[in-house]
Each structure stands twice: as structure tokens, then as C-alpha cells.
Structure 1
Amino acid sequence: MKCLHAQTLARFRRFQAMNFHHCRVNRHSHRGALNSQLAPAAQPILPNLESLKQEIFASLRTSLVAAINEQVISILQQEFTIQIQQHVMQAMQQNVIPQLQQYIPAEVHRAVSDVTTSLPKIIRSTLQCQLQVPPAAELS
């Protein structure tokens, strides 16, 4: 067991010494030669980085527009629901149709439910026409 430990320790020290020597050689090597060796390899990476950047921006724009659309839909849906309920309550308080007043709440709930369930689809289609995702050139 001690022999195995000693061998492992010796390998580790050799590795450290090689690594240290390698770092010293690289640190003291000529910068010009090193840069000329790295320059051709670095050039193909730049277009990939640019396309990656464009892809990330496009994804962020799409996510942002989707989040804004969802917030707008939620706010408009709440606002329309409140307005419809207020108009119905006013009509009921003014006894617009006294003989049918007992049937109004069920019909109103059904109408409000129909409007609020179809409202997000209507708003979404309207917003998709108005809020188009801008091209990448406009944001960068």
C-alpha cells in the first residue's frame, strides 16, 4: 500500500514539474510567434460568436414580446371583465327589465364567461398583428 502511495505521489510531482516547466516555456516564448500561431485558429470562431450573439438576441426578443403579450392579455382581460360586470350591475340596479331580473345573473355569467374565454384569443391575434418582432439589425 505504501509503495502504491509513493508511486502515485511521484507521478503527481513529475506532472507538477512538467506543468510548471511548460508554463515557464510558454511565458517566456516569443509573443509574436505565439500570436501568429493562434490568429488563424481564432478567426473562424468570430463568425460563430456573431451568429450565436444574433441567435441569443432573437431568442430574448421573442421571449420579451411573448411576456409582454401575456401581461397585456391579462390586464385587458381583467379590465374588460370588470367593465362588463359594472355595466350589468348598473342595469340591474336601474331595473331595466324588472320582470326578467331573476334570469339576468345566469345569462350575465354565461356572457361574461364567453367573453373572457374568447378574449385572450382576440387580443393575441390583434397583438400579433401590431407587435411584430423587430429585425436583429434594429436592436444591435
Structure 2
Amino acid sequence: MEQPLELLLTACQSKDPFSVVAVDPKTCVACWSYKGCVEAVGSHGDLLLLVVKDQPLAHIVAVNRRDRFHVKSLLTKPLRCVAVTKDGAVIFGCSESRIFCWMVASGSLVSVIEAHYQEILCLSLSSDDGLLISGAADGTVNVYVVPE
């Protein structure tokens, strides 16, 4: 039986090269690097959501050796914040006044909602992942039902 891959992931919010680095702790060799911010997603944390600071790009990368894939989404503006369901199946992100929804398993962008009149400042899921809450610069708060 193959040993599970262990990687040490270091990350910081920076536009500098190598601001996200994955290192094999047994060999101390960097096996992967990226310029941007990272969030582990997926049912076992085996996928990474990567965004480059001040760049309108979002990447979903599978780090499992057997099932590697990379999905790149080009946005109109950079993502400001993200929310991920507890099971890691769905990612919500906001940019300007829009909310984007990605299905992690396929990496596909499934919807874009024009949610507010002004820029969205925060995005959160309820404790049971049944509601998505967004707050905007104009003080409005919207609540959306998240279908199963």
C-alpha cells in the first residue's frame, strides 16, 4: 500500500514569486510553488484554491498524485473573499458586486450572481452550509439559500 503523500504547505499574502510553496518534509525539497494566496478545499483538503493578489484569476488545483488537474477561471476583477462548504464541494467567491459559485469536483463555474449594488466586503456560510450571507459597502446584507 502506497504511503499517503505528506507535504508542508507554506503561504503568505504576497505578489512575490514562491509565496506559496509545497515542500516534501522527508527530503526538504520544494516540489511545487505558486505566486498567490491559497486555501485547501475538497472533501479531504486534496484540492487548493489559489488566487493571485490583485489579479483577476482563480485556480483550482488537485494535489493528489493520481488525479491531478488544474482549472483556471478568468474573472473581471480579483476575488475579495471566499467561502467553502464544510464538505469542500462548493466554493463561493466575490468580486465587486458579484458572487461566483464553483463546483470543486469538476472545477466548473456554475453560476454568477449580481448580488449587490456596491462592492461585497464579506461572504460567509451558515453553520449548516444551508445559507450564504453577503455584506456590501452600502450596508446591505443578503441571504441566499444554498441548494443541496
Q: TM-score range by the shorter chain?
A: under 0.3
Structure with higher RCO (Cα < 8 A, 6+ apart): 1
Bigger strand share: 2
Bigger helix share: 1
TM-score, normalization: structure 2?
0.18
